[in-house]
A and B are shown apart, each in its own frame.
Chain A
Amino acid sequence: MGRYWRTLRRFWSTAVAVQLEYQANVLIELLAVAMSLGGSLFLLSLFYGPDQTLGGWSWAQALMVQGLYTVFDGMASTWLRPNLGAIVTHVREGTLDFVLLKPIDSQFWLSLRTLSPGGLPEIALGFALLIYGSVQAGVVLTLPSLFTVLVMLLAGGLILYSLWFLIAATSIWFVKTWNATEVLRALLASGRYPLNAYPPALRLLFTLVLPVAFLTTVPAQVLLGEAAAPMLLAGLALAVLFFSVARAFWLFALRFYTSASS
């Protein structure tokens, strides 16, 4: 385990070093994040006239959901996109062979190889929005609810990672996967709004098939003290299930790679 920790520290210190080689990008990134968040808030405000709600959620509560969505979006740009997007390059250029010959788990290497600090401001902004929304919505934070929300955020992160990794792993077969990733991103955008804003059929889809609900709506409900225990357990179970499927699929993909590649 010690070796994995040391490797992780090295991974990330080199990742920061790479970013420092490209400082100008950070500014563009910041501008994009600010514009994007401004646009999202403007769009959300269109749903709220005086005394209006969206699926029974008040403006402040919807801000919490929007904040959580921003956090996960930032996580995707900091962690998922730079790492999982590189898998396709490894396959195309044949450098996956080097990864497979390292005495370290290949999924660990491919998933945590780098970090892109450019997404960190977005995560910070997301949390700021979440806190602002929570205060406006009169959330009373207790130790158990804080603990629960952290666990649910972890579960949500695991679900998002697993979905993304599943798609990235198909690059063993397909030359390009970023358009599949775009489909995932388009569908994930549904997490910008509370689950109740959708018709019942979509709610089911966003809970069980593409569990966006567990990324944003459920953690917000935990903070608001409205989360039901079965929903929390379902979230944890889905996180474990999705991660196991992603892991199994990767091992299957590797078996295919090593028996069919030339």
Chain B
Amino acid sequence: MALIDVRGLSKTYKVADKQPGFAGTLRHFLQRRYRDVAAVQDVSFQIAPGEMVGFLGANGAGKTTTLKMLCGLIYPSDGDVQVAGHRPQRRQAEFLRRITLVMGQKQQLMWDLPPLDSLRVNAAVYGIPDDVARRRTSELADLLELGEELTRPVRKLSLGQRMKAELLAALLHEPEVLFLDEPTLGLDVNAQSRVRQFLAEYNRRTGATVLLTSHYMADITALCQRVLLIHQGRLFHDGPLEVLADQLAPEREVHLELERPAQSDAFEGLGRLERIEGCEVRLLVPRDQLTIVVAQLLERFPVRDLDVKDPPIEELIGGLFRQGRV
């Protein structure tokens, strides 16, 4: 039974066109022209309880819009969303108690007061009895390695400490579904990995479902077995990260260093020759033929060094977005 069930989800915005300059302003004022912009088109997926799913896509691809539709902050133009048995856009109290949203670049904690004060407010808002709230706070604080930071004004905390306190505030009501929008944005490498470890541990302990967007591939590779790739508003991939890598880069790169220079026609039938320069050779070989090709290469040529590389997934996805392929 899916905890999150999305079918044919679409969101279209009306955007007013305006040319720059005074004439443009005047024309805009007199005769407004609208253009439909499809932010999300016909997206469907299901997520089971306890899954950790990564949400990938370039800026403006539609990830945040989709995430906001799942929390009920944006009405879908078309399609159907169910989260924990609720329709998010109705934002019923029972639904809101079961989810949480963390946004890396926005904060809900009160700037001038220690996090504990914001936690007390949240406890009242979610109707959590004080003793329960205290217990949960100390458990989560242990997990997050937060101590006296909780009694210092938020404005005096480092970015990493602040993010951890944000997570604590967002999880005080023990939500079953976590929506995390760029939770590690701007953090240093140490703080990033601390947040990652916490999320993995939290998921293991509570069985909460996590849907996460991130710019940092390391977040996704460390936490998510399953990846949703959204491109120009459409769902482009739904499945394990490795499958995505295969799909994006069906070939692997073989790097050869020979004892003496070879002719380019000698490599016919051994994959695609990318470059040959004296003793240095680079070949692109389909994954399923890799072992055969490598065996033949070793047999035919005086090989000094051989190296097989997988292009990094970040570059693959980055390249994909740059080329506008898909």
Contact = CB atoms under 8 A, between A and B. Distances in A.
B91 interface: yes
Contact of A14 (B93, B94, B100, B121): B121
A97 B75 contact: no
Interface in A1-28: 3, 6-7, 9-11, 14, 17-18, 21-22
Nearest to B73: A97
A101 B101 contact: yes
A179 interface: no
A9 B121 CA distance: 9
Size band of the B side of the interface? Answer: 35 or more
A14 B103 contact: no
Contacts, number: 85
Contact of B106 (A7, A94, A262): A94
Interface stretch (A30-38, A227-235, A253-261): A253-261
A22 B155 CA distance: 14
B9 to A, nearest CB: 14
Nearest to A114: B110
Chain A interface: which size bin?
Answer: 20 to 34
Contacts of A102: 96, 125-126
Contact of B125 (A22, A93, A104, A259): A104
A246 to B, nearest CB: 20
B298 interface: no
Interface string B108-134: 101011000110110111110000000
A103 interface: yes
A7 B112 contact: no
Nearest to B153: A21
A42 interface: no
A3 B124 contact: yes
Per DSSP, chain B at the interface is: mixed
A202 interface: no
Contacts of A95: 106-108
A97 B125 contact: no
A234 B251 CA distance: 80
Contacts of B71: 97, 101
Contacts of B107: 95
Contacts of A100: 72-73, 91
Interface in B193-231: none
B46 interface: no
B101 A103 contact: no
A63 B49 CA distance: 67
Given A101-B100, A103-B126, 5 more contacts: A14-B118, A18-B113, A97-B73, A259-B75, A261-B74
18 contacts: A7-B121, A7-B124, A9-B124, A14-B117, A18-B110, A18-B113, A21-B112, A95-B108, A97-B106, A101-B72, A101-B99, A101-B101, A103-B93, A104-B125, A260-B13, A260-B14, A261-B73, A262-B65
Q: Which 7 A-B pairs have the closest CB atoms?
A: A103-B93, A103-B96, A98-B108, A7-B124, A10-B124, A6-B124, A259-B75
Interface of A: 3, 6-7, 9-11, 14, 17-18, 21-22, 93-95, 97-98, 100-104, 109, 255, 258-262
